[in-house]
Amino acid sequence: MYSRLLQGSAVALGLLMVTPAMAKDDKAAALCAKAEARYVDMFGHPSAEAEGVTVVTMYKYRFCPEKLTVPVGTTVRWVNVDKRTSHTVHLNEAGEKESDRLFPEENFEFTFLSAGSQQYLCGPHWETQKMIGMVTVTP
């Protein structure tokens, strides 16, 4: 009997441990879906249809997607789809200076010419809002 009770408790504990991560992923997915809808409203097409670039939206103090994998030579375009907040893109590890403030509908582009992982952040919001992203560049 204790064995079954312990197994049930272990399953319940496992669910409790998984649920917060799932909730965070669901929240991020919902937020990014709203960011994409704002992008479509602003530009009249999905971000995936932007020519010659891979789009990362900036919305509600998050990058969407937060993690991105692209081949060498890809240009990434960060687009602010917030209503009132400005953001920046700082690719410190690439030796790039921080972008100017990007107001709604403005963008910043960078072409990744070497393989590796590159963390980037929003200068005004990385510390207080954890607005940090990652690009992995493959050969």
pTM of the predicted model as reported, rounded to 2 decimal places: 0.82
Q: How confident is the model at residue 55 (pLDDT cuts 50, 70, 90)?
A: very high
- Edge-first strand order for the sheet with 54-59 is 62-64, 54-59, 75-80, 107-111
pLDDT of residue 7: 44
Q: Which two tokens stand for residue 3?
A: 């064995």
pLDDT of residue 94: 79
pLDDT of residue 124: 95
